[in-house]
Structure 1
Amino acid sequence: MLRLKCSKRKPLQSALAARHLINKNKVEVILGPRSWEETSTVAEVSERYDVPILSFANSSPPWAAERWPFLVQAAAGTHVQMKAVANIIQSWGWRWVNVIYEDSDSAANGISPYLYGAFQAVDVEISNLLPLSSFADSSLLHKELENLKQEQCRVFIVHTSLELATRIFGMAKEKRMMEKEYVWITTDSITSSVHSMNFSLISSMQGVVGVRNSFLETGPDFNIFSTRFYGIFGLKYPEEKHHEPGIFALQAYDAVWTAGLAMNEGTNSNGRQLLETILKTDFDGLSGNIQFTRQKLEPTTQFQIINIIGKHYRELGFWTENLGFSHTIDHGVYDLSMESLGDVNWPGLGGRSSAPRGWDLPTIENPLRIRVPNGSITNKFVKVDYDSSTNKYTFSEFSVDVFNETTQHLKYSLEYEFIPFGGTYTDLVKKVQSKEFDAAVGDIAIISKRCEYVEFTHSHTETGLVMVVPILRHSSRAWLFVKPFTKAMWFLTFFINVFNGFVVWSIERNYCSELRGPVLNQIGTLLWLAFATLFSLRGEKLHSNLSRMATLVWLFVALIITQSYTASLSSMLTMQNLKPKIANIETLKSNNAVIGCSQRSFVREYLEGPLGFKSSNIRNFTSTDEYAQALRSGAIAAAFLEAPVAKLFVAKYCKSFIIAGPTYQVGGYGFVFPKGSLILPDIDEALLNVRENGVLKDLEQGLIASEQCEDIPSDNETASLSPQSFFVLFIITGVTSSTSLLIYYFRAKDRYENSMAQYKGIWIAIMMVLNKLGHHRNRLSRKVSDVADENPGNSPNNLHSRPQA
């Protein structure tokens, strides 16, 4: 026979009711109650009388079975539902949640540590954990919900009794917290009673997603039970609109069936024997398999997901541990994302399928508060200026520009304001951790120690810590001046010089007497012309257009070659001088040298820790100019700078200092956000877009250009020049000079042949004249001879003997 005693859900009254049932009604088994607070007091009574108690509390401490051997948990544990809740949150990409739970032993046993473990597995953080008393008054409830409303997180998990949930959702609706962008998820303790909720509660829970214990609503046993339940419940509570049995009715039916089976098998047995019989129970009940292990039923691993909409609710599907979501309770197709279950009616969104963002954007009235460090070692990354006339700060330079550009690539408009911060970078990080402000932007290095407190975006600069030392200026290569050209280049340059000198000598020797003479003298003159013509013999001193043409082309080629030689030699001399005065940190340590680092950065800790420098040998500096002065004066032997700062420093003092030694892979500058920040994933995505579209590269180039003093070629750029570099020029000058020489020789040959032809004609004429003269002379001789014969006194031999008149 079943005896009933109402405890009104009060632990003390439950204990009194149990004692009354045992002493007065001589009951052999106690069924109920549902809360752990009542169960624990009843267990004390049942233990005293050796009466088994079948509790409907779905959670109990691990030590309960040892403390109360007669306590049997007849309701399957539902703590696995916390994994279902975590998977729902993971499905929609939410990273922060607010948890509201009832501050009772029952809720505590059901929420800790299962909820923390489930959230940790899917990388979800709890923004606020709000415990509420079962008897919390309206003013306290109003205050707590108002505080939650001011937070950015808009995802709420409610794990309370139905009575407290009714008050929570009623006030949440009044405070307009059941509207767009809000997400509400309820656990089994609330959702399993949804079929019996009144219209007032249903109307205040529109869009709520609930997790509840699942059971098969098929089979002959269930059909028989549900028919009888409809009839009895409908007659007793005719005002209720929903008469279908819930999980609690099924659990109670299975508990009664368990006790009845045990009592039938152990008639007239004592309480301990009855307990042993109960613990051996094994059958398929309406709520699931009834088989006890360590005085408990196996926990439920399958839950139903519902969505409250309209006047009732809609069944979305099921979730099964280690499998995921499915549309049916058995033999379904599983998916790890809840999106596979179809559209969800979220609060304020009607039938829209896309999930809310889960957090509220900062507004103009309440913008994102971002701290910016004031007092960086260089103002090229962050610069904070104060205008006394307007009493306002302005923020600029690289890191600020990158953040501003990043926010422009977000899918929404982000309201934020910069606030200067004058403390150390470690203090800045801890301020973000404590949520005194929402983020930090600047030259803030990403290091593991800081990642324990906050989260960083991707680095927007290169990473690394490097050593900067003075340049050691000396060169020990006496023959460095020949290195700009290869051997082949030197040979070809000499040959083309001599060839061009020969061309000029050949053409001009007929016009200049100094270009003629003995062979040895002409050889010296030719070699002198080969080189001196390029520098001392002006164009107007050349007499032939052919020599002028050859010299003009060669002068153009020689100008290019000499300029290239000068540039290459200058580069080599510069590179030879750019040697670090100290090559590595081992030299610093062995010399017990003093080094410098930034006063506000993490570098000092790194130098003292992994690199092993003595604290007494480390000096702090606050600006790059202080570094330069200390390095020049010898106050420090080296400075250790973060790679982005070192590049600017060396660019500014490129003739004095150089980066030496290896790069230690630490640091890199990132933007700082609290752990699990709601906006961080979007900022990271936007920053990647800024990097991929080239905007970040342009900003980096502008940053380096602002400090650039001169370009220093690399080793590859100072390689010796070969003939291939001037092949076309050599061909041009060679062809030009050769053409000039050939033209000159062809012209000389023609002149010679014309001269020889003229000489031959003249000779023939002379010979003809001489022949004629000889002929006339013979005739005259003959005439003279004839006259002499006729006048002997007049012969020449006698002419002188004639008297003078």
Structure 2
Amino acid sequence: MLNAARSLIKTKKVQAILGAHSWEESSLVADVCTQAHIPILSLATDSTPEWATLRWPFLIRASSSPNQRSQMKAVAAIVQSWEWHRVTLIYEDTTNSASNGVISHLSTALREVGAEIDQLIALPPFPFSSFSEELQRLKGEQCRVFMVHVSLPLAIHFFAKAKKMGMMTKDYVWITTDTITSLIYSLDASAISSMQGVIGIKAYFPETGPPFQEFSKKFKKKFSINHPEEKNHEPGIFAVQAYDAMWAVALALGDAGKSEGQEIIQKISSTDFNGLTGKIQFNGRKLAPSQTFQIVNVIGKSYRELGFWTEGRGFSEAIDQTVFYNSSMQVLGQVFWPGGPWYTPKGWTVSTEIERLRIGVPTGSTFKQFVNVEYDDRTKQFSFTGFSIEVFKATIELLPYAFPYEFVPFDGPYDDLVKQVHLKQFVKNGNGGVALCGTSHHPKLHCQPHQHAHRAAASARDKKH
């Protein structure tokens, strides 16, 4: 990349350079172009740092691809639509992934909809890594909603491995970001077969209208001649973005003539026209990112276009002035989930590796209406009943994930049970008025007897009314 840039500047005497699809490539070429006072129009699809244009005065961000903050809000909207509460983020372990805020943006967006990141899984940036260890660990966890934010070559290998390990079956949920979804159209049948049921988010650009149709016709004709071995000749997001960027340069050079780099930069920055991707207008040497995403669902030999999500508006089946927007993705219709079930995955499963929580229950409780432990000589089993037990069970049922537990009878004074819980010598939690809700060194400060519960409830009602 660097040698090619130097050759274009020194040998071809170019007045501007167009290209670089990643932030790493753009930063390297930007150094060379800044030294030569040659504008570089970056088409990096990932989020470029805000300080980049300050460090490299000849760098222009010519990609209208969505920024990561907006994209993570779209992911959160999908999560909220299906009432999932935990998401595992799988990302590529490069400097770019960490520095550009994927984690922080996703965390913030999920928190706003009452969800959270369950785990962070960093994949090595090598397409031929096995991924067996990472996937096996995820397979044993509760969370079944995964967001994948990696490069396309890595994604192809990753999903093939996930399918082989039985993780593209029912009850799993996979969401891919623009870096993968915008290039799904170019995948072969083998790669597509490994991604069945995936929900993808990609940058939207209008594929209707005479300008795009004319461009598409010429593009497919020339692409098929230059690359006869390729089966898919459709123009993707990179092609239309490059076309718009090239028009911006052409218009600037037409006005600037033989001007120097700084004047060309100013001419490009002041261009204003309707391109294939939408309005082409620069602000601070960067195009405004797209606010609309297309939601697709991988099925069969390709994918199905479900609809759209627009920031500040929500989901819709189309893009026009009269369309109805909704906060829930469910308005887009039936989704084909991994494994083909028609029901919506609940987003979690009972983990095979989570230790069962043991709940200590005093057998000699004074208030039987709260806690009552009885032993059945016929079944050789203990039964646990009472108000406290029922409240605990009802609370567990409302949790949006599995919470395995067992009641364990404790034959001894109430204070001894509290002490055992505090010392972690007998159980890991306690019921019948015991709750590990503090860090006090005094064991009795961890409990609130139920006989006082009615006072708190009455107080709360009084304040409410």
- Once the two structures are superposed, the pairs formed by residues 27-426 of structure 1 within 5 Å of their partners are 27-58=14-45, 59-78=47-66, 79=68, 80-108=70-98, 109=100, 111-135=102-126, 138-139=129-130, 141-331=131-321, 332-350=323-341, 352=342, 354-362=343-351, 369-373=356-360, 396=384, 398=386, 399-400=388-389, 402-403=391-392, 416-418=405-407
Distance 2:59 2:372 in 1: 69
The answer for the alignment partner of 2:414 in structure 1 is none
Q: 1:646 to 1:292 in 2, by over 3 A?
A: closer
Change (3 A) 1:304 1:427: farther
Indicate which of 442, 445, 453 corresponds to 1:602. 445
Superimposed CA distance per residue, residues 675-727 of structure 1 (whole angstroms, 9 cap, x where no aligned partner)? xxxxxxxxxxxxxxxxxxxxxxxxxxxxxxxxxxxxxxxxxxxxxxxxxxxxx
Matches within 5 A, 1:342-741: 342-350=333-341, 352=342, 354-362=343-351, 369-373=356-360, 396=384, 398=386, 399-400=388-389, 402-403=391-392, 416-418=405-407, 441-445=431-435, 599-602=442-445, 642=448, 644-645=450-451
How far apart in 2 are the matches of 1:408 and 1:300? Answer: 41
C-alpha displacement of 1:248: 0.9
Question: How has the CA–CA distance of structure 1 residues 174 and 423 changed in structure 2, closer, same or farther, with 3 Å as cutoff?
Answer: farther
The aligned counterpart of 1:515 is: none
Q: Is the 8 A contact 2:434 2:448 kept in 1?
A: no
CA distance in 1, matches of 2:315, 2:453: 53
> Mind listing any 5+ residue stretches in structure 2 that lack a counterpart?
411-416, 461-465
Cα RMSD of the aligned pairs, angstroms, is: 3.6
1:406–1:259 CA distance, 2 compared to 1 (3 A)? closer
**What secondary structure sits across from 1:211 in the alignment?**
strand
Are 2:359 and 2:405, in contact at CA under 8 Å, matched by a contact in 1?
no
CA contact (8 A) 2:433 2:449 kept: no
Alpha-carbon distance change, 128 to 440 in structure 1, aligned in 2, over 3 angstroms: farther
Aligned-pair CA distance for 1:374: 6.8
Could you tell me whether the CA contact under 8 Å between 2:145 and 2:174 is conserved in 1? yes
Secondary structure of the structure 1 residue equivalent to 2:443? coil
Q: Aligned to 1:99, what secondary structure does the other structure show?
A: strand
3-state SS in 2 of match to 1:113:
helix
Q: 1:232 to 1:122 in 2, by over 3 A?
A: same
Match of 2:3 in 1: 16
SS in 1 for 2:315: strand
Query: What secondary structure, in the 3-state scheme, does the structure 1 residue paired with 2:167 have?
Result: coil
Provide, for residues 118-157 of structure 1, a one-character-per-residue CA deviation record: whole Å limited to 9, x for no partner.
1111111111111112116534x11001101110110010
Alignment of 1:737-756 (within 5 A): none
Secondary structure of the 1:296 match is coil
Q: Which has the higher contact order (CA 8 A, sep 6+)?
A: 2
Q: Residue 282 of structure 2: SS of its match in structure 1? A: strand
Name the structure 2 match of 1:26. 13
Q: Residue 356 of structure 2: SS of its match in structure 1?
A: strand
Distance 1:69 1:355 in 2: 50
Distance 1:20-1:369 versus aligned 2 partners, 3 A rule: same
Indicate conservation of the 8 Å contact 1:369/1:418, yes or no.
no
Give the 3 Å change call, closer, same or farther, for CA 16–91 of structure 1 in structure 2: same
AA partner of residue 55 (structure 2): R
CA distance in 1, matches of 2:127, 2:444: 49
Pairwise CA distance, 1:644: 1.8
Residues 349 and 401, structure 2, Cα contact 8 Å, conserved in 1 = no
Q: What CA distance in whole angstroms lies between the structure 2 residues aligned with 1:426 and 1:236?
A: 73
Q: CA deviation at 1:167?
A: 1.0
For 2:219 and 2:384, the matched residues in 1 are separated by 73
1:205 alignment partner, SS class: coil
One-letter code aligned to 2:202 = R
Aligned 8 A contact 2:430 2:436 in 1 = no
In the aligned structure 2, how far is the partner of 1:167 from the partner of 1:440? 47
Structure (1/2) with the larger helix percentage: 1
Structure-2 change in CA distance of 1:268 and 1:339 (3 Å): same
**Structure 2 residue aligned with 1:457:** none
Task: Report the secondary structure of 2:159's partner residue.
Answer: helix
3-state SS, counterpart of residue 417 of structure 1: strand
- The verdict on how the C-alpha distance between 1:402 and 1:82 changes in structure 2, with shifts beyond 3 A counting, is closer
Do the aligned partners of 1:44 and 1:68 also contact (CA within 8 Å) in 2?
Answer: yes
| Residue identity opposite 1:67 in structure 2 | R
Residue-by-residue CA offset, 1:365-409 (whole Å, 9 max, x unaligned)? 6676123247799575668999xxxxx996846434554577799
Distance in 2 (CA, whole Å) between partners of 1:223 and 1:338 is 30
Give the Å deviation of 1:35.
0.7
Q: After superposing the two structures, state which structure 1 stretch, 17-26 or 110-119, moved more.
A: 110-119
3-state SS of the aligned residue for 1:158?
strand
Following the alignment from structure 2 to structure 1, what is the Cα–Cα distance between the partners of residues 432 and 271? Answer: 67
* Unaligned 5+ runs, structure 1: 1-13, 387-391, 451-596, 604-640, 649-662, 669-805
Question: Match for residue 536 of structure 1?
Answer: none
Residues 189 and 666 of structure 1: is their aligned pair in 2 closer, same or farther, counting only changes over 3 Å? farther
User: SS where residue 189 of structure 1 aligns?
Assistant: helix
Tell me the TM-score normalised to structure 1 length. 0.50
Whichever residue aligns with residue 64 of structure 1, its letter is A
TM-score by length of 2: 0.84
Contact 2:74 2:309 in 1 (8 A): yes
Q: Which amino acid aligns with 2:205?
A: F
| Residue in structure 2 matched with residue 500 of structure 1 by the alignment | none
Q: Percent sequence identity over matched residues?
A: 46
**Which AA in structure 2 matches 1:42?**
V
Residue 223 of structure 1 and its aligned partner are, at CA, apart by 1.2
Q: CA separation in 2, counterparts of 1:132 and 1:360?
A: 23
For residues 463-510 of structure 1, what are the alpha-carbon distances to aligned partners after superposition, in whole Å with 9 as ceiling and x for unaligned? xxxxxxxxxxxxxxxxxxxxxxxxxxxxxxxxxxxxxxxxxxxxxxxx
